[in-house]
Chains A and B, each alone.
Chain A
C-alpha cells in the first residue's frame, strides 16, 4: 500500500487552527529554519482512510488469539480505556499545585497500596515506563544499596541462561558485569552452579518466577537465601506474575526488588509496542534509594513526599505513564482479591489444558508435570527430520487468523515456541488453536518442502530481513516523489 507521503496533493490540508488574534512576531533571520519541511499535504478524508487501511493490516488482541509467551496478551477491557480518557485525568498539567491534583495522587496512592499487597513489597514507584526501564531502575537501587554501605566491590549481577534478554542488557547498562548461570535438565536454576558463582562480588541475582520455561522454581527459598547469604540482593522480573496473583508473592519468596509490567499482568494494552508501565517495587531496606518517595497524607490532603537525599534520582520526567496506571487500577478494582486469583488460576488452567492436549503430537521438553501460565514446545525433531523450523511453523499459523507463539525463546530450548494463552480466552478458542497446531504439524510432516512458502493469505509474504539490515532504508526519500 501507499505511504502517507505518496498520497494527497500540494496545498491540501485540514483547517484546524484559527487566525492569530494578536500581533504576529518573527525572530531574527539567523534563527529561522531554512531547509524544507516535508510533511504530508492531505485532506481529513485521506488521513482517515490511510489509517483505516493501516489498521486493517494490523493484528491486535481484538483480531484473534494471541498466545505470545512471556507477553501476557490478555484482553484489554474497554471500560479502562474509556476511564483513562476522562478530562479529569487527561487535561491535568503535571506541575499543577498538589491540592488541584488530588484525584491523580489518589490513583498513585491506591495503585501503590494494591500492587504492594499483590507482590508483598513495601513500596512501589511508577516512574519506569516499561519493564526494561523498571529493571534498570531496580538495578540502580541495588547499586545504591551496596554503595551506601561502602560495599562497592559488588559489581556482578547473576542471571540464569533462560532469562529475558533485557535482564543482562539492563545489568550491563547499569554498570554491572553479568554472570550467567546454567539451568538444569529440568529447566530450573542449577542451585549448585549458583552456589559456585556467588561471592563477595555478588551484587544481585535476577529471576522471573515462574521462569521462562513456564515452571515455578520450587527451590526458590534456597535460591534467594544463597544470594542473601553472599550479601547480594534478589531481583524479581515481574513478566510472569500472571500465573500467581493471590497464590504466592515475590515478597514472600525472598525478593528485595521487583518490577511489574502493567501492560501484561494488569491488562493495559500494548499499543503496538508501548506505552507500557513498569513500576518498581521494593522492600523497606531499599526505599530511600527510590527515584522519588511516595504519596503522603496530611490533614486529609495528599501530596508528594520530599525526595530522599539517598535517592538514585529520577529515571524519567514527572511521575511515569500515569494514564496506564489509571487503567491498571481500574482493572484491580474490577477484579478485587478474588478475581485476581481467579484470573491467575484460569491462566494456569488454560495453559495446562493446551499443553495436555498438544502433548500427544508435540515435544514439550519440560512437560512432565504441570506448567504455570505458559509452556514451551520444541520443534527440534521436526527441524532435524524434515528441515521445518519453528519459524516455518509460526509463519504457517499466520494463515489461520491467529498470532503465533513467541519463537526461539527461551534460548535454552532448540526451535522453541512459547505458548501463553492467558485466562481471557474461551475453551472454544483453545480447542480451535489445538486443532490448527496439530493440523499444521501433520501437514509439515507430509509436505515439509512447502513450509517455506507460508504465509500465503497475509498482506505481504515473508519479508527479506537480511536485505533490510544490509541496506537500511529507514525513511521515505522525498526526492523520489
Chain B
C-alpha cells in the first residue's frame, strides 16, 4: 500500500494515548452504525510509486499522439516555449491555495495582476478578472452578467462554437433568462435577422470572432447596430488572433471573453483550459470571479490583494453576482508567461504564421479534385471545405500517416447542410512540408 501519511504506527499510538483513546475508531463514535461501512471499499490494494508509474505510463500509451494536427474547433496545438512549462511547474505556484493571505501570496497576486493587464492589452478592454474555468463558461458568465431587470433575453450567433452555445443554454435553463440563436448567412451572423430580433427585452448579443468556421464576422457593423442601444455586445475571441486582428474594444464590445488554451496550454484531452473575461469600467462591479487590485501596505509599499469582494459568494452568499470560488490561477499564469515570452512581435508572428499556413493549406486543398471552399469570406486560421468524397475515408487515410485531419462537421445541429464539410485548422507548428505531405496523401484517396 502506498501512503502519504508520515506518522508511524507508534507515533499514531502515542497521539491516541495523549488524546485518551485506544483506537481511532473511537473518534468516529458520532457516525451511526447504520451508515458505517462494514466492509473495505471495493478498490484494489495500493501500490508503490514504481508500480504506479508503470501502470499509468501504460495507460497514457494507449492514446495516439498525432505527429501533425490540422484540427482546431476550440482546442489548438501551438508551440509551447520551454520557459512556460518550467515556470508553471514551480512548487510554490503549484501547491498554493487561493491567495487569501495577501502578505504571503504576493507572488500569485502579482502574477494575476500582470495577467489581468495582459488580457486588457490583448482585448483593448479596461478591466479583466482573474480567469474562469474555460471559454464556454466565460461566455455563459458574460451572458448572465448582461442581464438587467427588463432585459433578460440573450441572442447568440449560430456561428459560435456549438459547445459554447450549449453551455450558455445549460447555465440559463431554469432561470428567468432565455436564449435565441441567430442564424447565419454565408457562414457569418445574418445581420438582417439580427436587426429584426433586437428589442427592449434583449440583454445581449454574443458573437464569436473569428467564428466557428474560421470566418471573420463584420464586428464593426454589429457594433454600429448595437451602439445606440443598452444591449450588451459580447465578443468571444481567439487570443492568438488578437496579435493582428481588430480587438473587441475597437468593435465597441461591452464584454470580451474567450478560450485561453492557445496561450501556452497543451491540448490535454480538453482541460485544464482557461476562460478569460474582460469588460469596461462601467460594468466592472458586475464582473464575476476573482479580481486582483493594487493597493499599499502601512509602510506605503505597493501591494496586491483580492478586491471588489463585495460581489462574491463568501460575502454575499445567495445575493452574489456569481457562485465562482476558484479561478484557473495556474492556467492564467501559464498565459501570462506565454505572452511575456512571445512579446508583441512573437504573438504577431504566431498569428501571422497560423493564418498564412491555413491559407496555404486551403489553396493546396482546393487544387485537388472535388475540394472547394464552402464560404467566400476572409478567415483566420480555420476554414471549411466541402468534398464530394467519403469524409471518413479521407480522415482515415490521414490518420494512417500520423496526421489528425480536420473536424468533420456532419453533425452540427446548427448547420443542416454540413454533409461533406470538414473544418480545417493550421497553426505555426504545421510546416510547409507537413502540408505538402497531407496533400500528397489526399491525392491518393478517391
Contact = CB atoms under 8 A, between A and B. Distances in A.
A334 interface: yes
B79 A476 contact: no
Interface string A71-99: 10111110101110011111111111100
A172 B317 CA distance: 9
Contacts of B407: 95
A155 B5 CA distance: 44
B12 A89 contact: no
Interface in B20-70: 20-21, 24, 26-32, 34-37, 40-47, 49, 52-53, 55-57, 59-66, 69
Contacts of B186: none
B47 A41 contact: no
Contact of B4 (A48, A267, A274, A312): A267
Given A147-B174, A270-B98, A462 B298 contact: yes
Contacts of A181: none
B418 interface: no
A195 interface: no
A175 B312 CA distance: 17
A440 interface: no
B94 interface: yes
A284 to B, nearest CB: 18
A313 to B, nearest CB: 4
Contact of B75 (A86, A89, A221, A318): A318
B346 A273 contact: no
Given A17-B79, A17-B350, A95-B73, A398 B307 contact: no
A465 to B, nearest CB: 5
A270 B329 CA distance: 9
A114 B432 CA distance: 46
A335 B46 contact: yes
Contact of A271 (B96, B290, B357): B96
B3 A335 contact: yes
Contacts of B163: 314, 317-318
B184 interface: no
A174 interface: yes
Nearest to B106: A57
Contacts of B442: none
B270 A314 contact: no
Contact of A458 (B6, B12, B104, B270): B104
A294 interface: no
Contact of A318 (B16, B63, B269): B269
Interface in B372-400: 378, 380, 395, 399
Contacts of A62: 91-92, 95
B187 interface: no
Interface string B295-307: 1111101011101
Contacts, number: 670
Interface residues of B, number: 206
Interface in B84-138: 86-87, 89-108, 110-114, 116-118, 120-122, 124, 126-128, 130-131, 133-137
Contact of A93 (B75, B121, B357): B75
A341 B27 CA distance: 14
Interface stretch (A226-234, A320-328, A377-385): A320-328
Contacts of A4: 114, 336, 340
Given A90-B268, A92-B63, A41 B343 contact: yes
A39 interface: yes
Contact of A118 (B43, B116, B161, B326): B43
Contacts of B49: 79, 334
A479 interface: no
Interface stretch (B200-208, B222-230, B237-245): B237-245
Interface string A29-60: 01111110111111010011011111111111
Interface in B170-199: 170-171, 173-176
A247 B31 contact: yes
A166 to B, nearest CB: 5
A63 B344 contact: no
B297 A464 contact: yes
Given A57-B107, A464-B297, 9 more contacts: A20-B356, A38-B121, A71-B97, A95-B73, A317-B75, A320-B271, A334-B47, A337-B42, A474-B284
B341 A253 contact: no
A58 B96 contact: yes
B443 interface: no
A58 B107 contact: yes
B292 interface: yes
A172 B404 CA distance: 43
A394 B435 CA distance: 60
Interface string A248-284: 1100110000000000000101111111100000000
Interface in B304-325: 304-305, 307-310, 312-320, 322-325
Interface string B384-428: 000000000001000100001001000000000000000000001
A238 B195 CA distance: 47
A92 B135 contact: no
Interface in A439-481: 455, 458-465, 467-469, 472-476, 478
A59 B96 contact: yes
Interface string A330-370: 10111111111111011011101100110000000000011
18 contacts: A17-B353, A22-B359, A22-B432, A58-B107, A90-B266, A91-B266, A106-B62, A165-B314, A169-B320, A248-B36, A274-B328, A274-B331, A314-B167, A337-B46, A425-B6, A427-B14, A465-B305, A473-B295
